[in-house]
Every structure is written in structure tokens, then in C-alpha cells.
Amino acid sequence: MANPLFDTLFGRYVGQDTAFLHLPDGRTITHGAFLEQVARFAHVFVELGAQPGDRLAVQIEKSPEALAVYAACAQAGIIFLPLNTAYTADEVSYFVANSGARVLICDGSKVDALGPVAEAAGAVLETLNADGTGTLPDKAEDKPAVFETVPRAAGDLAAFLYTSGTTGRSKGAMLTQTNLLSNAEVLADYWQFGSGDVLLHALPIFHTHGLFVATNITLIAGGSMIFLPRFDLDRIIADLPRATSMMGVPTFYTRLLGDDRFDRELVQHMRLFVSGSAPLLAETHARFEARTGHRILERYGMTETNMNTSNPYDGERRAGTVGFPLPGVELKITDPGSGRTLPDGEVGQIEVRGPNVFRGYWQMPEKTREELREDGFFITGDLGMIDSRGYVQIVGRNKDLIISGGYNIYPKEIELVLDDQPGVLESAVIGVPHPDFGETVVGVLVTEPGAAPDPDAIMAAAGQSLARFKHPRKLVVLPELPRNAMGKVQKNLLRTQFDGLFK
């Protein structure tokens, strides 16, 4: 193929009037109409001076036009760099300067803040608003609806995704055409997606989950998407009867379970619910199955690798696990100090290797060498274990490991105990500085509505289930846990908040 990514995902749909995007206003955009918009955008990018291999950064709201920008980058051989819409101008400044982006596209409301950012980085600034208006579509209006696809090799870079940067500056993960294509092809087959699938899509598209998993799978399978700008409970419930599948973060499913309209009859025609980006509580698994008869399929991925593992489509989907390594992906648990492979049942760092694993970090060769071994295994930074049946369990992040008095403590083990206590909705366990032990354990609790958990009873339950050195030294209650855009608990913020608790 001249351009594997574009040709596989988009090229075969040129001129086709099959449905691609179903929008909240009742409109349906066909594949053919979508690709005409893509071609017009690609012409604009070339006129702006973007060459194959250049970076194009976007901080724009989710819309069909925003998705067309991604496709136009693929067609023109430009490296696509999506940015979280919540990032400040200072954060965007770092990403644009670090990536060397030639073009920056933003929402019109951010021109005043991001104009100086683009100017300082030598980037051209264009606008694209959530309603499809802006300087970019204005310039594209009179451009040809056909664009000659730029040849690219399978190993050429297709996208940059910056890590969340919870410990130091964000790193730009370089993803190749093969990284994106191989993962989408495997997942479409593994989860049995086909042309008849209608995916309910309420995820953001600046992240792996919504863009490179949900969207790419739908394109490869030939299906369509109900394309919602964001998660809206009423809208989701209204649209579920038209869908066959849904991908979400745990918050999507807990909010659905909190509404009496969400019942077995509403989802009787659905074939698959997928959850990822953050751990799904075992309680949510059980409540969802009891309410709907469906068992959520949980998987595990990350910025640098896309998806690594998945619970089976056919077979037992085990709560508290992320299933098995995907076809073509190797996974092992290793000792963080020596790199030695550990036997099943022991906790260690997760390493993965496969065509999904990124090339490295942009302009960070030292960091790349630290985390990407010469034999191709990537040190994920996640701690996990493989159980006796081969299912992978995530214990937590390596940086979340608590070392108290010389003992290694894995927060997930304590969180499972706390989550089981009456009145506790969810918990997060962190390590904070302690004068005697170096670090000690603090349990942060969110209570169920109207509940008032008994701290003494919770401590007593922990004492029955956990060795003494694992006991929380203090429990604190918050209205909610801080989370990023994809629902992951930001424990770094909690550690900062409670840093002086024992000083």
C-alpha cells in the first residue's frame, strides 16, 4: 500500500454513501462525504506549508470536522498531535515547542491565549470550533474534494501522544503506522466487530481510547458510530437502542447504573460493553451484570502501546483482571531491580513487546533507553501479576508503590479491603512522608450518598485482612477523588495534598 494507515482506515470508502457518523442533531454523514472534507483539509495543510513528517497539533472540541483533521493528517503524511482540551496555554506551549509543530489548530475562543504560543513556536494558527466553523473550514470550502494520498511506509510516524506528565515533563510517545494499524486490526477481530456494528461513541478523541481504539476499529470493521460530543446521561440512554456496542471509562458505567431507566430491556440488543483507561471496581462489574445481563469487557492499554491485553470476547470475563495478552503481544512480569522474569503469582513490573509498542520518546533518547529495552520489551511502569489461569491483574503504578519501614506495600491490595466496607463508594491509597517509617499509608475515602462510615470499624476490618505494616495510619474523606480526563485517579495530587500530614 502507498499509505497503509490511510488506505486501510479511510481510502476504501472514497465515494461510498454508507453511513459513518450519526450525529445528535439527526444528521448522518456518509463515508464518502466525510472523505471529501478530509481531502479539502489536506489541501489546506499543504498550502500552510506542512510537509510529510511535520507535526500538526490540535486542541479542539470533538466534532466530525475534528475527526476529519486526523484523517487529513494521515492522507497528507503529517504526524497528528491531539491535545487534551483542558490543557492551559502554558501546557500547550510546551507541547507545541517540544514537538516542533508546524501548524496549531485551536477553538476560536482560545485564539487570544494561544496566538502568542503559536507565534513563539513559529507555528501557523488556525481555528476549528465545535460547530464546524472556523478559519480552517473557511479555507477548505473551495478546495478540491479529492487529494492525492501521500505515500508513507509502515514504519513512518503517524502520531505523537504526550504522556500525562505526573512525574516531570510530559513525554511525546512516537507512534508509527504499524503501531496504530496492527492494534486496530487485532482488536476488531478479537472483539468481533463487523460492518453491522453501531458504536456508541462518547469518549474524547484526544486520547488513545476514543481515537485509536474506538474510531480505528469502527473504520476497519466498516461499521458506524453514534458520535456524541461528550458523555451525557440522557443522550446515552436515548441512543442506546440504536447501538450494538459501547466503549467507555468506569465513570460511564457507574452513572448509567445510577439511573433507573438503565435496565435489561434498554440494552437487550447490545452485544458488547468495553471499559478501560481506569480500573473498574468488581462491585460495578457485579451490579452491571445483575442489572443488564451483560458482563463488561475490561482491557488494558496505555499511551505508548495502545492496547496490550483484553478479557476474552468468548469466555470468562474476570472482574479485577484485564484478561490475556492480545494476539501478537508478549507480556511478562519482571523484578524491577534485576529485570528477571518472575513466576506466575508474584507481583512485579509489567513489560510488553509487540507491533503495538511505540518507537520511543520524541527527543528523549535517555528516557527511551530507560523504558524501552534493546530486545523490544517496554517497561510499562505498571505493577501486576499473572494468576494461575493466565489472567493479568494490575496492582498499581510503580511510582505508587509505598515503601514503609522497608516493606513494599501495593495500594491496590488495601483499596480492595476499603472498597468492601459499608458506606464506602471508592478509595485511593497513597504513601505520604513519615518521620519514623519514611512513608506510611493513608486511605482516602469517598462515601456513598448519605452514608457515614465508621472509621474504627474500617480500621478493624483492615486489621483482619492485612498485615500490620499495611494498615492505613489515617483515613480521610473527600467528596470525590481527583481524576484526569479519562477517569484515572490522580494520586500525585493526593500525595501533594496530604504531604504534611505527619510532619
| Single pTM value for the model | 0.85
Residue 287 to residue 283: CA distance in whole angstroms:
6
Coil, helix or strand at residue 8:
helix
- Return the axis-axis angle of helices 89-99 and 111-121, rounded to nearest 10°: 30
Looking at the domain assignment, is residue 281 inside a domain?
Answer: no
Looking at the domain assignment, is residue 190 inside a domain?
Answer: no
Phi–psi pair at 281, nearest 5 degrees: -65, 145
Task: Give the CATH number, domain containing residue 441.
Answer: 3.30.300.30
The residue out of 128, 152, 176 marking a domain boundary is 152
Residues 362-378 have pLDDT tens digits of 999 999 999 999 999 99
Give whole-number Cα distances, 125 to 69, 82, 136, 142, 367, in Å: 14, 15, 9, 20, 31
Task: State the alpha helices, DSSP H only, in 293-340.
Answer: none
Record the cell numbers describing residue 273, joined without a space: 460493553
The amino acid sitting at 226 is: I
Phi–psi pair at 323, nearest 5 degrees: 80, -145
Looking at the domain assignment, is residue 375 inside a domain?
Answer: no
Residues 49-99 have pLDDT tens digits of 999 999 999 999 999 999 999 999 999 999 999 998 988 898 899 999 999
165, pLDDT greater than 80:
no
Looking at the domain assignment, is residue 106 inside a domain?
Answer: yes
Decide: 292 and 345 in contact? Cβ < 8 Å.
Answer: no
Looking at the domain assignment, is residue 396 inside a domain?
Answer: no
Burial, 364: exposed, middle or buried (Cβ in 10 Å; 0-12, 13-18, 19+)? middle
Query: What percentage of the chain has pLDDT greater than the value 70?
Result: 98
* Predicted pLDDT at 315: 93
Task: State the alpha helices, DSSP H only, in 384-490.
Answer: 411-419, 455-465
The residue out of 117, 135, 152 marking a domain boundary is 152
Q: 428 is in which domain, residue-wise?
A: 401-497
Element (H, E) at 350: strand 348-353
Residues 299-337 have pLDDT tens digits of 999 999 999 999 999 999 999 899 999 999 999 999 988
The residue out of 137, 152, 167 marking a domain boundary is 152
Burial, 157: exposed, middle or buried (Cβ in 10 Å; 0-12, 13-18, 19+)? buried
Task: Give the CATH number, domain containing residue 72.
Answer: 3.40.50.980
Residues 410-436 have pLDDT tens digits of 788 899 889 999 999 999 999 988 876
Residue 208 to residue 159: CA distance in whole angstroms:
11
Q: Of 66, 165, 54, 49, which Cα lies nearest the Cα of 106?
A: 66
Task: Count how many domains the chain has.
Answer: 2
Looking at the domain assignment, is residue 424 inside a domain?
Answer: yes
Record the cell numbers describing residue 156, joined without a space: 513512518
Element (H, E) at 465: helix 455-465
Q: Rounded to the nearest 5 degrees, what angle is found at the Cα of 128, between the Cα atoms of 123 and 132?
A: 160
Looking at the domain assignment, is residue 159 inside a domain?
Answer: no
Tell me how far apart the 2 most distant CA atoms of the chain are, in Å.
71
Looking at the domain assignment, is residue 254 inside a domain?
Answer: no
Q: How does the average pLDDT of the chain come out, rounded?
A: 93
